[in-house]
Structure 1
Amino acid sequence: MSSDSTPEKQFKIAKKLLQDGVEGDKQAAKRAHEKLLKLRETQPHHALIEAYYGSSLALLSRDAVKLVEKEEKALESLEVLNQAVEMDPNEKEIRFLRGSVCLHLPESYFYSSSIAIEDFTFLLDRYQQDSNYLTHKQVRRVLRKLSKAYQNSGNPAKANEVSQRLASMYPKKKDD
């Protein structure tokens, strides 16, 4: 058995493909979904694989041509991501994935900004308890996403409050 066929190696490859899919590579998104589907079948109780599988469904939804398929994949994505959080509610990567997916769904149809707010607030609360929980770069990303989630949910005052918190904690940097 080659090292390329280990579940850990396949998961690493799938995560890289998923990231390429997030950046717009539709073929990579499909390949990530296929790999994650296989991993999910062999490791059905692995919460992180479940979360990445849910994220891959969100990309398939994004890239679908037919409206019905977009809706079905998005709903399935939310269901799978919710299941991943139920399996491991304290896993930060799962919370970040679910929050990020919810942030990109149309609020007028899915009403998922509240879930994104819950997940990003969860991450920031844990960071307040342990400053090593997130890197500074991760905190900036979470704050930006939380601000956007509040904006999407129709709460511009809270969005502005979070943006101000970000600005006061982290003055603008070139890598942002």
Structure 2
Amino acid sequence: MATDSKHKKQFEEAKKLHYKGVDGDKNAVKSANQHLSKLREAEPGNALIEAYYGSSLVLIARDSVKPLEKADKAQEGFDTLNRAINSDPNDKEIRLLRANVCLRLPESFFHCLQTAIEDFTFLLDRYEENASYLTQKQVREVIQNLSTAYQNAGKPDKANAVLQRLSQITFREEGKH
């Protein structure tokens, strides 16, 4: 049990580093990746650790200056995220990670905008079934990102329809105050 608590604390630290990396801190990305690599060894089969590890690989790719390393790390990270989804397809956090990564990877090389659309749609569908599934901030971000994904996929009508959902949600929130 002490090991579980220790791993949980290490995982929370790795997640903090990961999000600092998302915000541009290259050193945090490297640290997060090292922490997550060790956690993967300690807890093989943990889909959430696997997902964060995959995302950290994509962040390493983002920060790399070598084109081949950039492509290889990004592909490895994308593949790792897909394995995490296959292990636990209903995990909200994993879906959010993969959707956000897919939205930001170059479509011409990775062809994963459709995956981002599917993940964001999955999250919104679960939210519509259960309003406590996502926070209001997450709902807004998911809708905005889904709209961006549709826009990037050359589907401006769908992008605009999604933004209409955002304005309806915002209107409902304001009506509650």
TM-score between the two structures when normalised by the length of structure 2: 0.92
Kindly indicate whether residue 115 of structure 2 is the aligned counterpart of residue 124 of structure 1.
Answer: no
Matched with 1:138 is: 138
Measure how far apart 1:113 and its partner are.
0.5
Kindly indicate whether residue 78 of structure 2 is the aligned counterpart of residue 84 of structure 1.
Answer: no
User: C-alpha distance in 2, partners of 1:40/1:148?
Assistant: 32
Gaps of 5+ in 1: none
Matched with 1:57 is: 57
Measure how far apart 1:161 and its partner are.
1.0
Moved >6 Å (runs of 4+): none
Aligned length in residues: 171
Q: Comparing 153-162 with 98-107, which one deviates more in the overlay?
A: 153-162
Gaps of 5+ in 2: none
RMSD of Structure 2 on Structure 1 (CA): 1.7
Measure how far apart 1:132 and its partner are.
1.0
Q: Deviations over 1:50-97 (max 9, x none)?
A: 000001001001000011111001100110000000110000000000
Higher helix content, 1 or 2: 2
User: C-alpha distance in 1, partners of 2:147/2:7?
Assistant: 36
Matched with 1:48 is: 48
User: C-alpha distance in 2, partners of 1:113/1:158?
Assistant: 14
TM-score between the two structures when normalised by the length of structure 1: 0.93
Give the letter for the 1:57 counterpart.
Answer: L
